[in-house]
Structure 1
């Protein structure tokens, strides 16, 4: 069996921005499905490269794809979707991860041969080779979109739980282990992402600007000063602290969990 898709990736209004493994990032340079009263807004948005993007996965029958729940738009070919649950123990683990993080409890897995296309998004799609992060990477909440099903999902606990509560932060983050490609929904494009490499040192960030970091780093929420009075006088309060040896991926402008105004708008 075979299929042919016309006027999609070879459409004059789109282009492929990035490709890694079985994933492609497609960008709509022009959106002609507009009403007269939204055309002006769309034109000005396009001047700042605010465009809709879609993730495409070309499955070859060997490696499946794990998606955030609700991310699939359409598939073509012999592709099957499963819950990805491999038993009672695995279900319990997924329930725990869903309860303590902002990621969905069940992430469907797609296998087979064909094309899988995700819903359009205004956010930027970053392709990450987990092997280049030492085979283990920790994500800020709400950034996971998709990955090769060869990657294992786990939880990473904050170094100090009490300060995480005080800073109104979650106690756990999603960690991906293994070899494969990871796709993030990012508030900033790849060209603006900052990378900080640490060698037995530390980084303090006032806000959720870190997108991802090496699993070996110790992550905690602490007072910016040595005392509550000092923190208040400094005007910073609590900061996210990363210590040890590893790498941090950071958004320079938009906080990782506050890309809300345009990203929350309907895509059609």
Structure 2
């Protein structure tokens, strides 16, 4: 039986998926390593605020995974590391793709049997399993995946989505079968995974972070007429059509406002709500 690493610090498992390899998102119960007052105060505030350190663990069983460069923290077992460029043609494709979407050219592959731990982070992670499918995600969301999954660039299919959607001309496409680890801007519990069945989703804002390959994306006026758009007080909206899944993070703007404006951003919203309630 394969041995496993043991920890003195209690770790909670937030989520787990298994295919060829097993992927886990772990969370540290506490951080007790402060050696000065300033660090101790910081850790105490984080503890009271519910901010916890997370780490991705991957268990290999004669299997292979591909990681984002620089994401490895440590590993144990009989694991070999290789960089596969796919020959001259494959290398050229990787270079072009990396320039278009800002992703890394070379992603190391780890093969064998053992355990891999990625760099701990106070950020958030999500697991998704693809079954001969593709997803289009925001920049720098890819973190790790099972071998055989391709990561490259996809171009926006129409002018409106390319120049009015605030998502760039090129986006990251992840295609194949297996488990993918994504870095997400909010906890997975705050992600609204909207399933469309030959339907239309209109989003007033840029907070859709993922869509499956069968979903078409465009940017359109919120109303069919210019007058209607003016009356509604809205301008352009992001439109998703087809059958598949779209991930929305509506709470993302709240965290952004808090980070930039502080509590005034939230108190201002509450104040307006109280006035309307009178």
Conservation of the 8 A alpha-carbon contact between 2:160 and 2:218: no
Report the secondary structure of 1:64's partner residue. Answer: strand
The verdict on how the C-alpha distance between 1:15 and 1:149 changes in structure 2, with shifts beyond 3 A counting, is: same
Conservation of the 8 A alpha-carbon contact between 1:187 and 1:259: no
**Deviation sequence 1:40-86 (CA, Å, 0-9, x none):** 3323323343211111111122x211111211111222222222312
**TM-score w.r.t. length of structure 1:** 0.82
Report the secondary structure of 1:54's partner residue. Answer: strand
Is 1:37 paired with 2:34? no
Q: Shift in Å at residue 4 of structure 1?
A: 5.5
Q: Shift in Å at residue 186 of structure 1?
A: 1.3
Report the secondary structure of 2:41's partner residue. Answer: helix
The verdict on how the C-alpha distance between 1:233 and 1:107 changes in structure 2, with shifts beyond 3 A counting, is: farther
Q: Shift in Å at residue 87 of structure 1?
A: 1.0
Conservation of the 8 A alpha-carbon contact between 2:161 and 2:217: no
Q: 1:253, 1:186 → 2: CA distance?
A: 12
Within the candidate set 6, 15, 18, 1:18 is matched to 15
Q: Shift in Å at residue 233 of structure 1?
A: 7.0
Correspondence for 1:264: none
Q: 2:174, 2:94 → 1: CA distance?
A: 13
Give the 5 Å matches for 1:84-95.
84-95=84-95
Is 1:178 paired with 2:176? yes
Report the secondary structure of 1:178's partner residue. Answer: strand
Structure with the largest fraction of helix: 2
Conservation of the 8 A alpha-carbon contact between 1:17 and 1:27: yes
- Aligned residue pairs: how many? 254
Q: 2:52, 2:225 → 1: CA distance?
A: 45
Is 1:51 paired with 2:48? no
Q: Shift in Å at residue 144 of structure 1?
A: 1.0
Q: Shift in Å at residue 189 of structure 1?
A: 1.9
The verdict on how the C-alpha distance between 1:165 and 1:37 changes in structure 2, with shifts beyond 3 A counting, is: same
RMSD of aligned alpha carbons: 2.8
Conservation of the 8 A alpha-carbon contact between 1:154 and 1:175: yes
Give the 5 Å matches for 1:43-192.
43-61=44-62, 63-131=63-131, 135-161=133-159, 163-192=161-190
Q: 1:191, 1:123 → 2: CA distance?
A: 14
The verdict on how the C-alpha distance between 1:234 and 1:48 changes in structure 2, with shifts beyond 3 A counting, is: farther
Q: Shift in Å at residue 5 of structure 1?
A: 5.8
Q: 1:188, 1:49 → 2: CA distance?
A: 13
Conservation of the 8 A alpha-carbon contact between 2:76 and 2:116: yes
Q: 2:54, 2:17 → 1: CA distance?
A: 16
Structure 2: unaligned runs, 5 residues or longer: 260-278
Q: 1:46, 1:52 → 2: CA distance?
A: 10
Report the secondary structure of 2:252's partner residue. Answer: coil
Q: 2:215, 2:189 → 1: CA distance?
A: 24
**Deviation sequence 1:119-171 (CA, Å, 0-9, x none):** 1111121111112xx62222122211111012222433222235422444311
Is 1:194 paired with 2:192? yes
Q: Shift in Å at residue 101 of structure 1?
A: 1.0
Within the candidate set 226, 247, 254, 2:252 is matched to 254
